[in-house]
Chains A and B, each alone.
Chain A
């Protein structure tokens, strides 16, 4: 085993942050009902007996390994072990502090629990980076992680924690809004690809067009999202009022239509700019040779330029997808639906658990999309280098 006597500084920082948070910040917050301020409980009060020993043992082990052990697989196992232990510890506290059959009491994970989870998650991500797994291995790991997490949720492991309580009372709407969220994020991406890829090719072929198009798209990107959602309400509302057909196909000042239009506008810049950059990166000699050998314009694009530009274009797709998954949350403000509905409803009701019900799946979706696209980018660029 490649054990070194040297101290790992990054591991040290994460361990310090996680340790201080666990020791000083509340592990869970006990609330008699969902909106009153709760009573913070430290980790030693929240956890008892064998559970406390097991959770703290796993966390201390993860910390020690993070600081003193260089071996990446060991670091990965230790940090993941700590992560699971803290999550299960929170679940155990939820079970312990909820009276049997009670549906009003809320046990929410506290700042200490969240910070420890983040620190351990980052340690695991760092260990993974050091392992340099191939793209397919990364996808497999992501699938395994989500399978385990979903199995635990389905099994009811976390049912007594506040977020899951909110889920229980919103289960029907959650499925609907989650689907709407994905539809808006991926639908606007699909529209941006349909328009942006040809536009990018055109900008590559016609240099004079490039500055104008990229400049306008850059300008769109500088408009704050809430402002853009608001700006679009008036013209689309007017359109719906003036053209009955438009209203019948779902165009309206509020709802999904302006959200899709705004997300589409934000998506265009990364798609077009990366298409242009990707095509510009293709060696002019390869294109010249291809044309000289008798490939038509279309064949040159499909067989030479496109495959060579694809990794850069996919990088644009990743930017768009992660950006859109976040922006859809804001679109809930204009009635577009999506997981942002829970966030804003939660803010309105000062029910932070409901906010989390909207925010946590959004974050998970964004991370998963990013990992999947990173893997695709590597696969697409595999042969070149």
Chain B
């Protein structure tokens, strides 16, 4: 758990970050979203003390980060930046091994961890471990950057616009990978982005930042249904907020028991349980159906899903 308390950074008389207090739950993803110049990167960099706070405190798992030399603190915290920052003169394996080497891990432990991480990020160790970064594609370099940040088993991972340099298709893939990695390694992640879609896609909680202040830090649905500020409502999107709300629930969670009468002349639309309601609705509209069956990946039917039930999920109350 990360607790920020009255965290402030002033340059001269300007407060770039102004008395920010938020709590990040263990093993959750908090997305800090805001326009450029909102102070979100500075806020992130105060957590690992790349920027020293002018005032306020940061606690990680009950320890005040100010009590530790900054470089030792940073070795316990993963850090991923835009453009990955891989060392061009080191191989993929050497890049990944950076922090474990600083911590004095044994060669065997480092090698095992490197293989584990590269496999988790879908980079064949036999093929890529001894390549230099320039031989990799942008997406692969970004994944090596994530592997490097996770190498020393940090409990906390800070990400500053990690997918900003990727094209939309690679970005979606990278976001999926991140969710998979989080499920596998269980890491508390704080992620800075200017992309509200990314925030909605990844964040368990979203902190909206403007002029150095947090306007609202809440669950994604609450940002849509109960925006604390006109700016939050604007950022969350007025035009498609209903659809965005639908995208926060999966078909599996919304499925209802199959009605007893069952007999139906409509074609049966099969909906994957992990599809969002937004995707389910789109599919039903496309096929001209008013209901579908929700199926698990193994093919068993989990329940039924009616269009009007889906629509109910998109209402603000």
Determine if B84 is an interface residue (Cβ-Cβ < 8 Å).
yes
List the A side residues contacting B77 at CB < 8 Å. Answer: 294
Name which residue of chain B comes closest to A292, CB basis: B79
Interface contacts beyond A293-B99, A294-B74: sample of 14 additional A-B pairs, CB < 8 Å, sorted by A: A283-B88, A285-B83, A285-B85, A289-B148, A290-B85, A292-B85, A293-B149, A294-B75, A294-B77, A295-B71, A303-B87, A308-B89, A383-B88, A384-B89
In the assembled complex, the CB of B160 is this many whole angstroms from the nearest CB of chain A, namely 9
In the assembled complex, the CB of B260 is this many whole angstroms from the nearest CB of chain A, namely 59
List the A side residues contacting B71 at CB < 8 Å. Answer: 294-296
Asked whether, in the complex, the Cβ of B85 is within 8 Å of the Cβ of A294, the reply is: no
Name which residue of chain B comes closest to A383, CB basis: B89
The digit string for B61-87, where 1 denotes a CB below 8 A from any CB of A, is: 000000000011111110101111111
The digit string for A276-288, where 1 denotes a CB below 8 A from any CB of B, is: 0000000101111
- How far, in angstroms, from A291 to B48 measured CA to CA in the complex? 10
List the A side residues contacting B72 at CB < 8 Å. Answer: 294
List the A side residues contacting B149 at CB < 8 Å. Answer: 293
Determine if A304 is an interface residue (Cβ-Cβ < 8 Å).
yes
Asked whether, in the complex, the Cβ of A289 is within 8 Å of the Cβ of B86, the reply is: yes
Question: Mind listing 23 A-B residue pairs with CB under 8 Å?
Answer: A283-B88, A285-B81, A286-B86, A286-B87, A287-B85, A289-B145, A289-B148, A290-B85, A290-B98, A291-B74, A293-B74, A294-B71, A294-B73, A294-B75, A295-B102, A308-B89, A383-B88, A383-B89, A383-B90, A383-B132, A384-B89, A384-B132, A385-B134
Residues of B within 8 A of A (CB): 48, 50, 71-77, 79, 81-90, 98-99, 102, 132, 134, 145, 148-149, 158
- Scan residues 196-252 of chain A and give those whose CB is less than 8 A from a CB of chain B: none
Residues of A within 8 A of B (CB): 283, 285-296, 299, 303-304, 307-308, 383-385
- How far, in angstroms, from A283 to B87 measured CA to CA in the complex? 9
Name which residue of chain A comes closest to B83, CB basis: A285
List the B side residues contacting A303 at CB < 8 Å. Answer: 87
List the B side residues contacting A299 at CB < 8 Å. Answer: 102
List the B side residues contacting A294 at CB < 8 Å. Answer: 71-77, 99, 102
Asked whether, in the complex, the Cβ of B99 is within 8 Å of the Cβ of A285, the reply is: no
List the B side residues contacting A384 at CB < 8 Å. Answer: 88-89, 132, 134
Q: Which 10 A-B pairs have the closest CB atoms?
A: A289-B85, A294-B74, A292-B79, A294-B75, A285-B85, A285-B83, A294-B71, A383-B89, A296-B71, A286-B85
In the assembled complex, the CB of A274 is this many whole angstroms from the nearest CB of chain B, namely 18
In the assembled complex, the CB of A142 is this many whole angstroms from the nearest CB of chain B, namely 26
- How far, in angstroms, from A292 to B158 measured CA to CA in the complex? 10
- Knowing A293-B79, A294-B71, the reply to whether A285 touches B98 (Cβ < 8 A) is no
List the A side residues contacting B82 at CB < 8 Å. Answer: 285
List the B side residues contacting A287 at CB < 8 Å. Answer: 85
List the B side residues contacting A285 at CB < 8 Å. Answer: 81-85
- How far, in angstroms, from A289 to B77 measured CA to CA in the complex? 12
- How far, in angstroms, from A291 to B77 measured CA to CA in the complex? 12
- How far, in angstroms, from A304 to B88 measured CA to CA in the complex? 9
Name which residue of chain B comes closest to A293, CB basis: B99
List the B side residues contacting A286 at CB < 8 Å. Answer: 85-88
List the B side residues contacting A293 at CB < 8 Å. Answer: 74-75, 79, 98-99, 102, 148-149
List the A side residues contacting B84 at CB < 8 Å. Answer: 285, 289
Asked whether, in the complex, the Cβ of B132 is within 8 Å of the Cβ of A292, the reply is: no
In the assembled complex, the CB of A196 is this many whole angstroms from the nearest CB of chain B, namely 23
List the A side residues contacting B48 at CB < 8 Å. Answer: 292
Asked whether, in the complex, the Cβ of B73 is within 8 Å of the Cβ of A288, the reply is: no
List the B side residues contacting A307 at CB < 8 Å. Answer: 89
